[in-house]
Amino acid sequence: MGRAFEYRKASKLKRWGAMSKLFPKLGKIITMAAKEGSSDPDMNSKLRTAIINAKAENMPKDNIEAAIKRASAKDTASMIEVNFEGKVPHGVQLFIECMTDNNTRTVANVKNILTKNGGEMLTKGSLEFMFDRKALIEFTLKDSMDIEELELELIDAGLEDIEEEDGIVLVTGDYTSFGTLSEALEKMGIEITKANLERMPNAQISITDEQQEDIDKVLEKLEDDEDVQKVFTNLA
């Protein structure tokens, strides 16, 4: 299959595993989406997408509703999204997306994890050119759907690629087309099962299994941090 499918399979959602870590992170995304717009998902496409992704990970309805309600709470007033760039051993580079109510704490935690594992923080903007930001949207292929017809219908909405594997369709577009692609699929009556903005490396590197173990330790520590939302690498 194509690059997007393979990259998605190696994404952080596969490594998180434990719901005790995943649900709070998904909850933050829902809270931020509701805070930035309406608390009504029908009126807020970003919130609607966040809820879709939460449901895809079997997040309970009560948790979702609680996350939406937190958007109006005083302790979410200072919640911001911040990004960090860094490098770790074996030529691996990281783009780290965070959501925090205490930037000082988050900077210190991320820097500490990197330095204790042979890595370092990089100047902001150092790796921007190394990653393409893409909109990835998944849905289930139904018998009545024709991939070629879908492709033609979605080109004007910003489609760059469409692939199907085992009944799952993956639509890829530039990150700026996230909204138009989502809306086009919804108008066609297609139920989106997962949608994300991902950073895909322009140039990938390969490392040995032993080196991968070193990197996995760093990734796990980063993803264990409550403020870290996503970690992207240049690994093949």
Mean pLDDT for the stretch of residues 78-86: 93
Whats the size of the chain, residue-wise?
Answer: 236
> SS3 breakdown of the chain: % helix, strand, coil, rounded to 5?
50, 25, 25
- Of the chain, the percentage scoring pLDDT greater than 70 comes to 91
Does the residue 146 lie in any domain? yes
pLDDT at residue 57 in the model = 87
55: Cα separation from own chain's centroid: 15
In which domain, by residue range, is 196 found? 131-200
**DSSP designation for 170:** E
User: Per the structure, how many domains does the chain have?
Assistant: 1
Does the residue 229 lie in any domain? no
> Tokens 């935690």 map to which residue?
109
Mean pLDDT for the stretch of residues 95-108: 95
For 150-174, what is each residue's pLDDT tens digit? 999 999 999 999 999 999 999 999 9
**DSSP designation for 235:** B
**CATH code (residue 188):** 3.30.70.980
Does the residue 218 lie in any domain? no
Mean pLDDT for the stretch of residues 123-143: 93
> Tokens 């490594």 map to which residue?
15
Does the residue 151 lie in any domain? yes
- Paired tokens of 139: 């849905």
For 55-77, what is each residue's pLDDT tens digit? 988 899 999 999 999 988 876 77
pLDDT at residue 143 in the model = 85
Does the residue 174 lie in any domain? yes
Helix (H) or strand (E) holding 96: strand 92-100
Does the residue 193 lie in any domain? yes
The number of beta carbons lying within 10 Å of the beta carbon of residue 20 is 8
- Paired tokens of 107: 């900077």
Going by C-alpha positions, the residue among 106, 122, 89, 96 that lies closest to residue 210 is 89
pLDDT at residue 45 in the model = 87
pLDDT at residue 5 in the model = 53
Q: Measured between alpha carbons, how far is 129 from 90 in angstroms, rounded to an integer?
A: 20
The number of beta carbons lying within 10 Å of the beta carbon of residue 225 is 20
Hey, is 159 helix, strand or coil? strand
